[in-house]
Structure formats: C-alpha cells, structure tokens
Amino acid sequence: MSDAPTRIVRVADVPALIPELAHWLWEAFWRHDGHTEAETADWLATANVPRGIPQCFVAVQDARPVGVASLVRHDLPERPDLTPWLANVFVPPEARGRGLASRLVRRVEQAAAEIGTRTLWLYTGTAEGLYTRLGWETVEIFQRYGEPHKLMRRHFAASTPPEG
C-alpha cells in the first residue's frame, strides 16, 4: 500500500469504483442472502441520500478503494423493529491493520448523528472486538448462516457526532 493519504468519500463521488465495491460486498455479504452482484452494484449506485438513509462511504487511496461502509434503514430481516444500521463494513485483506475500518465506522456514525439517530445497530460474526473498542455493546447472540453472530448497538447524543 502507498503512503498517499486516504480519503473517505461518498460512493456517489466515485461511481467508477462501484463495480469493485459491488464485487467485494457481494462476496462478503450479499450473496448469502441470495442477491446478485448486479443487484449489489445497483444498490451502491443509489445508496447516497445526503442527510438521509441509505448512505454509503468508501475509503480511497491513490484512486483505488481500500474500504467501504454503509448506513442503512434495515440490515437484519429478523429484526425489522431496529433501525438504522451500520452495514457493509469491508476492508480488503491487503489494506487491513491501518485503522480504515474504524475510520469508516466513525464516518457512518457521524452520518447517523447528523440525521438525529440516537441508537445505531449492527450485527457481526467476526468483528465484535473492533466494534467493542469503538464503543459498541453486544446485546444479543444469535445464529445466522449456521454460525453465531452478535447483535450490537451504539448509543450517542444526536447533537454530538462521535469522536474519531
């Protein structure tokens, strides 16, 4: 990886990156729910409601994507009562270990706070430690895709965007 600065921007600002982002998200998440890669790309192309939901952010370095995260209305079909959600957090293996996931999470938290959100939700199978370090709390453990997953939440004052 380069020493060039990494920017976090809206996916709408870098539409040429959508095919690569769609491939990442489809491989990591969307295919498990029966979506196609094309559906994933279509969603990314429209997931940019300024000061609303959904919003999708991408970390960019040297004009290449190095991570992605989203603010969505619903992410866990079994819990339609909970909203909004931090979702689609993905950093490719070659870019991990540089704090990009944390920066992307903080950007989504900021977007959520800007629209008055007081509680943000997520679920994870493997990254509970990351989210705990960022102030999230586990509220439930459940089975999804035959594996244990954690339902987590983050409370914050709607008028104060999270630090970071």
Lowest mean pLDDT among 4-8, 15-19, 154-158: 154-158
Instruction: Confirm whether 163 is domain-assigned.
Output: no
Of 124, 60, 67, nearest to 95 by C-alpha is 67
The answer, yes or no, to whether residue 31 has pLDDT greater than 60, is yes
The answer, yes or no, to whether residue 164 has pLDDT greater than 70, is no
Instruction: Confirm whether 47 is domain-assigned.
Output: yes
Instruction: Confirm whether 2 is domain-assigned.
Output: no
pLDDT tens-digit profile of 123-147? 999 899 999 999 999 999 999 888 8
Q: For residue 64, give the CATH number of its domain.
A: 3.40.630.30
Task: State how many domains the chain has.
Answer: 1
The answer, yes or no, to whether residue 1 has pLDDT greater than 60, is no
Q: Which residues of 122-158 are buried (b: 16+ CB within 10 A; e: fewer)?
A: bbbeeebeebeebebeeeeeeeeeeeebbbbbbebee
Q: What is the pTM of this model?
A: 0.90
Mean pLDDT computed over 143-157: 91
Instruction: Confirm whether 48 is domain-assigned.
Output: yes
pLDDT tens-digit profile of 81-125? 999 999 999 999 999 999 999 999 999 999 999 999 999 999 999
Confidence of residue 162 (pLDDT cuts 50, 70, 90): low
Write the DSSP symbol of residue 48: B
| Residues of the domain holding 82 | 7-155
Kindly report the average pLDDT of the chain as a whole number: 91
C-beta separation of 37 from 97 below 8 A: no
Instruction: Confirm whether 86 is domain-assigned.
Output: yes
Instruction: Confirm whether 32 is domain-assigned.
Output: yes
Instruction: Confirm whether 161 is domain-assigned.
Output: no
Mean pLDDT computed over 17-38: 90
Instruction: Confirm whether 138 is domain-assigned.
Output: yes
Q: Would you state the structure tokens that stand for residue 160, as one six-digit string?
A: 């104060």
